[in-house]
């Protein structure tokens, strides 16, 4: 496995911020994951698994432990009729493209989410009426060093949550169930969704997508806009004027800028509307 010491986490996050990880291990197999986890446990060192870093805010102080990231060897995509087996490191965009090429529908919703399969299952990622919950047959995980197969219905999927979070599971792969469809329709659907994203989301700036979860009965972006916070800026971080639910790295932001902006937005929305915004973005390290 490749091991990188004092690795800048801005290279591994879509926010393009964050200090150095003490070490980052690019693992090639479950055995390597188990070895690293055992070693960390023995040495009382903390560790975290990351996917494509598209939902992470890593502290500017970095991460004083081990980051485990999956190499391309753990990103297989294998089509078996209407089922597709996917390694945790595979990008959702690649899975969607493979499904499209094999005339399989049902994964178009995820084609524009810049995450990996592992991160998407962990977060139960979703968009445009679809979510991972709808397509997962089973998930292969490492639990206390053992490989276990968990059925989709036992994954306790809910809005941006799954059993993986609750039980500290390491996702290594999953079987997805798609459906035979018309290739042209799938292509059209993916194009439409991509155009929607492009017109509504500030994709020209680094971000982690929606910064806050959708509070029940509200939309975070609308609350933030109605609080007059479009374009609100702290350091290099800004509330996107195109989509107020996105905090963007507007101009060489630090993670601290983003963190402070999130805190101020939360405070102002609470004061204005009495609604508590909760971060969707996962914080890594000390803030
Ligand atoms: C422009 C943009 C648009 C976005 N649009 C959407 C959207 O429409 N819908 C949506 O839901 N999200 C969206 N996101 C957020 C993000 O892409 C998703 O949350 C995605 O699922 C995160 O996947 P990741 O691989 O990047 O995970 P990471 O950000 O690397 O990690 C997220 C969490 O998953 C855990 N994790 C990752 N891999 C594993 C694994 N193998 N085993 C166990 N735990 C793991 C990490 O520890 C962390 O807690 C968007 C982000 C951006 C930047």
Q: How far is the CA of 275 from the centre of ligand 1 (A)?
A: 25
CA atoms within 13 A on the CB side of 256: 7
Taking the CA of residue 48 as reference, the ligand 1 atom at the shortest distance is 47
- Beta strands, E only, the chain: 2-8, 20-27, 47-50, 56-58, 63-70, 77-80, 83-87, 104-105, 126-127, 130-131, 136-143, 146-151, 170-177, 179-180, 207-210, 233-234, 237-239, 246-249, 282-284
Taking the CA of residue 208 as reference, the ligand 1 atom at the shortest distance is 53
Q: Could you list the pLDDT tens digit for every one of the 287 residues in the chain?
A: 999 999 999 999 999 999 999 999 999 999 999 999 999 999 999 999 999 999 999 999 999 999 999 999 999 999 999 999 999 999 999 999 999 999 999 999 999 999 999 999 999 999 999 999 999 999 999 999 999 999 999 999 999 999 999 999 999 999 999 999 999 999 999 999 999 999 999 999 999 999 999 999 999 999 999 999 999 999 999 999 999 999 999 999 999 999 999 999 999 999 999 999 999 999 999 99
Query: Does 126 sit in the ligand 1 pocket, CB within 6 Å?
Result: yes
Q: How far is the CA of 20 from the centre of ligand 1 (A)?
A: 20
Q: How far is the CA of 144 from the centre of ligand 1 (A)?
A: 23
Asked whether the beta carbons of 194 and 203 are under 8 A apart, the reply is no
Query: Does 209 sit in the ligand 1 pocket, CB within 6 Å?
Result: yes
Domains, in order of start, for the chain: 2-72 (3.30.43.10), 75-198 (3.30.465.10), 202-284 (3.90.78.10)
Query: Does 87 sit in the ligand 1 pocket, CB within 6 Å?
Result: no
Q: Is 210 a catalytic residue?
A: yes
The pTM for the full model equals: 0.97
């Amino acid at each position: 496995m490749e091991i990188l010491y004092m690795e800048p986490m801005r290279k591994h996050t879509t926010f393009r911020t964050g200090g150095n990880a003490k070490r980052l291990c690019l693992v090639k197999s479950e055995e390597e994951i188990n070895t690293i986890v055992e070693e960390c446990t023995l040495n009382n060192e903390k560790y975290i698994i990351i996917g494509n870093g598209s939902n992470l805010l890593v502290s500017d102080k970095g991460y004083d432990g081990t980051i485990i990231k999956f190499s391309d060897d753990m990103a297989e995509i294998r089509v078996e009729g209407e089922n597709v087996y996917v390694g945790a490191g595979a990008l959702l965009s690649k899975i969607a493209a493979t499904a499209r090429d094999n005339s399989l529908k049902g994964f178009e919703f995820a084609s524009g989410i810049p995450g990996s399969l592992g991160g998407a299952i962990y977060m139960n990622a979703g968009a445009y009426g679809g979510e991972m919950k709808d397509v997962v047959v089973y998930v292969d995980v490492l639990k206390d060093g053992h490989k276990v197969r968990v059925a989709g219905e036992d994954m306790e999927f809910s809005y941006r949550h799954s059993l993986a979070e609750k039980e500290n599971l390491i996702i290594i792969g999953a079987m997805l169930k798609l459906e035979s469809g018309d290739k042209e329709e799938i292509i059209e659907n993916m194009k439409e969704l991509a155009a929607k994203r492009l017109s509504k989301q500030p994709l020209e700036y680094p971000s982690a997508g929606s910064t806050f979860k959708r509070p029940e009965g509200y939309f975070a972006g609308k609350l933030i806009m109605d609080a007059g916070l479009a374009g609100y800026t702290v350091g290099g971080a800004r509330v996107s004027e195109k989509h107020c639910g996105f905090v963007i790295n507007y101009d060489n932001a630090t993670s601290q800028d983003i963190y402070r902006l999130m805190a101020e937005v939360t405070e102002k929305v609470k004061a204005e509307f009495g609604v508590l915004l909760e971060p969707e973005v996962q914080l890594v390290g000390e803030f």
